[in-house]
A and B are shown apart, each in its own frame.
Chain A
Amino acid sequence: MKPATVPSRQISRRSFGRGAAATLAGLTISFRLAEAQSPPALPPMIKANPRLDAWVRITPDGAIRVFTGRVEIGQGTLTALRQIAADELDVAFDRVTLLTVDTSRSPDEGQTAGSLAIKLGGSALGHACADARATLLKVAADAWSADAAALKVENGVIRGPAGQSMSYAEAAAKVSLARPVDAAAKRKPAAAQTVIGTSVPRVDLPAKVFGQQVFIHDLRPAGMLFGAIARPPAYAAQLMDADLAAIRAMPGVVEVVRDGSFLGVIARREEQARAAAAQLARTAKWANGPSLFGGNAVFDYLKTAPSETKLIHASKGDAPPASLNHKAQYRRHFQAHASIGASCALAQWDGPKLTVWSHTQGPFPLRGELAKVFKPADVADIRVIHAQGSGCYGHNGADDVALDAALLAQKVPGKPVRVHWAHEEEMAWEPWGSAMVVELAGGVSAEGKLTSWTHDVYSFPHSTRPEAGEGCNLRSAWYLASPLAPQKPKDIPLPNGAAGRNAVPIYAAANQAISTHFLADMPIRTSALRTLGGYFNALSAEMFMDDLAAKAGKDPVAFRLANIADERLVAVLNKAVGLAGWTPRKVERRAAQKELTGTGVGLSRYKNQDCYVAVVAEVAVDPRSGRVRVQRLWSAADVGRAVNPDGVLNQIEGGMVQAASWTLMEAGRWDAGIMTAVDYNDYPIIDFLGLPAITSALIERPQLPSLGVGEGSQAPTGAAIANAVFDAIGKRVGEVPLLPERVLAAIKA
């Protein structure tokens, strides 16, 4: 058997069978999975995990347990999902236990990414819970010969029209949930929801505020040892020789591991493991590989190296003649996840079985990827248990460090080994967010309508996560004596898109041609950084809109409003400019002053299908240094039904702060062989003194479906800042980040 090709959900279904048998005491239920008969109404995650008891179990002891394949990455998912379950089941929030992901018991929902946890994970869980509630009601209705529609539920107690009552526990003893989810189950209408739509406090915060165990870094199983990796001095370096005996003699060292160019240390204490690994890396003899980008600048490389060109969207339409045409190029540097806590994993081997604790976004895909390396007889011999990590913001080192821990733990069977990367190790070895070049061209009619719009994006991959297929995307696998090659990177097609995410304009431009130029070979490994290509595509489009508005002598807000067809975009834009007290005016050069100030706007709909966000920024630019200070940000967001409004605002505002950091401060740097900006001095992120004052508003649309939120505010915030700088200095700085030297050069140009 080839474990890598086994669909993970088959395994999870089988292990569910075992779990369910234990749970449903005394009940023997036979069932057949609906085979390829699922009606289209089923949420996609239920199609992947069709059994009802994969999502919810209500046992005769009264316990209500719900399951999810989604993980907490700091976005409040565990709270919001529990709200959805409690509401659909008609029980108090506290009565629901939400079990976090463990591949031995949880539904396989792939990755928790793309702002889809509520949209996909929540809709699946909500549907399953609605089905469970209806199933229990039917038990009572049958027992009382009543119409199920005449029954009510009060915190898990079913009430009949003649005053009868039956608890969920009693009803659950008479029915099995070990069957396929009913596609016909109906979720509550928004008006009947009482938990969804309220700002339930985050369930995980008390533990975090009082220092209780909640993070993976805090797991300390008995007998735990500490591992650390001795990294090569460059990505392409190969190990020639290493004095393992000298390292073995260092204090606390238990094992030194060498497998090809993979070198690691196991020690009794964490600081001993780190010191020994650092000494090992320093003293080993390495042979360097070729220079990164052939020694070229990255933007030249992006434009000239072989790439796969795809027209991903095109439209033709009648348009009045253009009275002006414009084209522009915008550039974005490599940017990092730069989490405060570096990636961490624990691994333990017991005979052929491997248990890994990980803060991965995709426990099941990680299991599949580990199986490619260790080739177990059954992929279920590898169990991945999720434990929270520091905020991830995309594909960081979480998956890679899980392999590191598993490789080291092989040498000490039966003992758990914890590997917690050093911050500089994370910065050098995690996948970075891709540098990008975006070229736009367009025309505007005399009436101010967009007559044409072409958008070309040049990009490295935005998703090289673990997934089924040839090759292995866990980094250390590439360095083993019998290496596994990385998977050949693929771009993601629309509607989600990766390089092309948000490259299709939100504006009603006639004659659109949107193309991606995808560079699958990546000298610096890149993968998903929050929004993938979305931040920079939408930011580029918004810079271009202001460039066009300036050429046409239009107010940027009025110019946008004249070219928007979607009323929800109009509503967020009007709301944000209303909050900001926007003064309509042409964008133009100001007279030199001691401090230049400007105001700009940014607008986007994440992935062209998720939340709508408009942002207004006010900046001050020091004309002597070129330093930009964001003084104020105003935002308006429409996320459809907000499951937890405070959680939504936390995401929107947090994304604004993070985007201010990306847009003004963050750029990777490298030498011939490796990323070199590896600490917070060399790769600074926004701090309290750089923090703008933020005002934000939600436009509530409780009757509409919940839209993805977690990545919605970054692009419009970056755009508002870049356009405010344009307004302040009268010149476009089209290279992100807007570092002082670039702004100063533009002022002086």
Chain B
Amino acid sequence: MPNLTINGKPVSIDVDPQTPLIYVLRNDLALNGPKLGCARGQCGACTVHVDGKAARSCQVPVSSAVGKQVVTLEGLGTPARPHPLQTAFLAEQAAQCGYCTSGMIMQGAALLAEKPNPTESEVRAQMNANLCRCGTHPRIVRAILRAASGKA
């Protein structure tokens, strides 16, 4: 019965400790942000922060998140108090279908936390393992650079 801290709140879930975190977040905690994509750690749609670092929640057993701070898109910011990257994604209209968006924002926010003023090539390198099928990559890069510049 793992005890977790999700978006700052303690929660207790009665689940097999080997259960991938994504299922707990989405189905037990009704969080929509992290998306189930490939379930193989290849696409990044399920990206969340575990102790501030970007992590693929489809590859993290819930047991290994015990005692750590897990943050999803919902915990990153809200319409009333948006994270600068959420504001920047809206300003750049950096999505089409939006299925990869949560993972992109979480990966990008982790990058900005570590490196507040990345170059474009650093953004591309850090975002490279997050896939988008609609082809909105140029807008996503612009949104991250916009948030970094403080214009968002």
Which chain A residues have a beta carbon within 8 Å of chain B's beta carbons?
73-76, 201-202, 204-206, 208-215, 217-218, 220, 226, 251, 269-271, 337-342, 388-393, 420, 422-423, 646-647, 650-651, 653-658, 661, 679-681, 685-689, 691, 694
Cα of A654 to Cα of B136 in the assembled complex, Å: 5
Known: A201-B90, A650-B93. 14 other contacts (CB 8 A): A74-B98, A204-B98, A210-B79, A215-B32, A217-B26, A269-B15, A269-B19, A340-B37, A340-B132, A341-B45, A653-B139, A654-B96, A661-B135, A679-B42
Contact flag A391-B42 (CB < 8 Å), given A205-B89, A206-B79, A211-B72:
no
Known: A202-B95, A204-B98, A657-B135. A687 touches B39 (CB 8 A): no
A210-B74 contact given A220-B27, A341-B45, CB 8 Å threshold:
yes
Contact of B78 with A691 in the complex, beta carbons under 8 Å: no
User: In the assembly, what is the distance between CA of A637 and CA of B48, in Å?
Assistant: 38
Within 93-150 of B, Cβ neighbours of A (below 8 Å) are at: 93, 95-102, 105, 123-125, 127-141
B131, B134, B137, B141 — which one has the most chain A CB atoms within 10 A of its CB? B134
Residue of A nearest to B127 (CB): A688
Closest B residue, CB atoms, query A202? B93
B43 contacts the other chain (CB 8 A) = yes
Residues in B with CB closer than 8 Å to A75 are 96
Residue pairs across A and B with CB atoms within 8 Å: the count is: 174
Instruction: Say which residue of A211, A213, A389, A691 sits within 8 Å of B137 (CB atoms).
Output: A691
B57 within 8 A of A: no
A271 CA / B96 CA spacing, docked (Å):
28
Pair B99/A209 contact, Cβ less than 8 Å: no
Task: Name the B residues within 8 Å of A656 (CB-CB).
Answer: 135
Q: Is the CB of B133 within 8 A of A210?
A: no
B77 in the interface, Cβ–Cβ < 8 Å? yes
Chain A proximity of B115: nearest CB distance (Å) = 15
A-B pairs, 3 with minimum CB distance: A74-B97, A657-B135, A211-B33
Q: Report B124 CB to chain A, min CB distance, Å.
A: 4
Take A74-B97, A75-B96, A210-B82 as given contacts and tell me if A688 and B40 are in contact as well, using a CB distance cutoff of 8 Å: no
CB pair B133 A680 closer than 8 Å? no
Query: Knowing A75-B96, A423-B37, A688-B137 touch, does A340 contact B45 (C-beta < 8 A)?
Result: yes
B98 touches A657 (CB 8 A): no
B36 touches A211 (CB 8 A): no
Q: Chain B residues near A208 (CB, 8 Å)?
A: 95, 98, 101-102
Set of chain B residues within 8 Å of A654, measured between Cβ atoms: 96, 134-136
Could you tell me how many residues of chain B have their Cβ less than 8 Å away from some Cβ of chain A? 58
The residue in A650, A655, A656 that gathers the most chain B C-beta atoms within 10 A of its C-beta is: A650
Residues of A within 8 A of B23 (CB): 269-271
Q: Name the residue of chain B whose CB is nearest to the CB of A646.
A: B93
Check if B4 is an interface residue, CB within 8 A of chain A.
no
B99 adjacent to A391 (CB under 8 Å): yes
Q: How far is the CA of A56 from the CA of B38 in the complex (A)?
A: 40
Task: Tell me the smallest distance from the CB of B91 to a CB of chain A, in Å.
Answer: 9
Question: For the complex, is B73 an interface residue (Cβ under 8 Å from A)?
Answer: yes
Q: How far is the CA of A620 from the CA of B18 in the complex (A)?
A: 46
CA A271 to CA B20, docked complex, whole Å? 8
Q: Does A215 contact B39, Cβ atoms closer than 8 Å? A: no
Q: A710's closest neighbor in chain B, by CB?
A: B96
Q: What are some 6 contacts across the A-B interface (CB < 8 A)?
A: A73-B97, A205-B98, A209-B95, A340-B38, A340-B97, A422-B39
Chain B residue nearest in CB terms to A73:
B97
Q: How far is the CB of A638 from chain B (nearest CB, A)?
A: 20
- Is A341's CB under 8 angstroms from B93's CB? no
Quick check: is B35 within 8 A (CB to CB) of the other chain? Answer: yes
Evaluate whether A201 and B133 lie within 8 angstroms (CB atoms) in the complex, with A271-B19, A340-B43, A688-B124 already known: no
Q: What is the bound-complex CA distance between A201 and B134, given in angstroms?
A: 18
Greatest chain B CB density within 10 A among A251, A339, A390, A688 is at A688
B136 proximity list for chain A (CB < 8 A): 650, 654, 657
Looking at the assembled complex, report how far the CB atom of B89 sits from the nearest CB atom of chain A, in whole angstroms. Answer: 5
User: Is B60 an interface position by the 8 A CB rule?
Assistant: no
Mask of B55-78 contacts with A, CB within 8 angstroms, 1/0: 000000000000000001110011
How close is B34's CB to chain A, nearest CB, in angstroms?
Answer: 8
**Is A205 touching B137 in the complex (CB atoms < 8 A)?**
no
Complex Cα–Cα for A209 and B30 (A) = 16
Tell me, in angstroms, the Cα distance from A389 to B97 when the chains sit together.
Answer: 8
Docked pose: A633 CA to B120 CA in angstroms: 17
B134 contacts which of A212, A391, A647, A689 (Cβ < 8 Å)? A391
- Quick one: given A340-B99, A658-B133, A680-B42, are A689 and B89 in contact (CB under 8 Å)? no
Among A209, A217, A679, find the residue whose CB has the most chain B CB atoms closer than 10 A: A209
Q: Are A653 and B96 touching (Cβ within 8 A)?
A: no
Q: Are A691 and B133 in contact (CB under 8 A)?
A: no
Q: How far is the CA of A393 from the CA of B78 in the complex (A)?
A: 30
Bound-state Cα–Cα, A272 to B134, Å: 31
A338-B133, A680-B131, A685-B133 known; A210+B86 contact, CB < 8 A: yes
Given A271-B19, A338-B133, A685-B131: A209 touches B138 (CB 8 Å cut-off): no
Give the residue of A270, A342, A679, A687 whose beta carbon is less than 8 angstroms from that of B27: A270
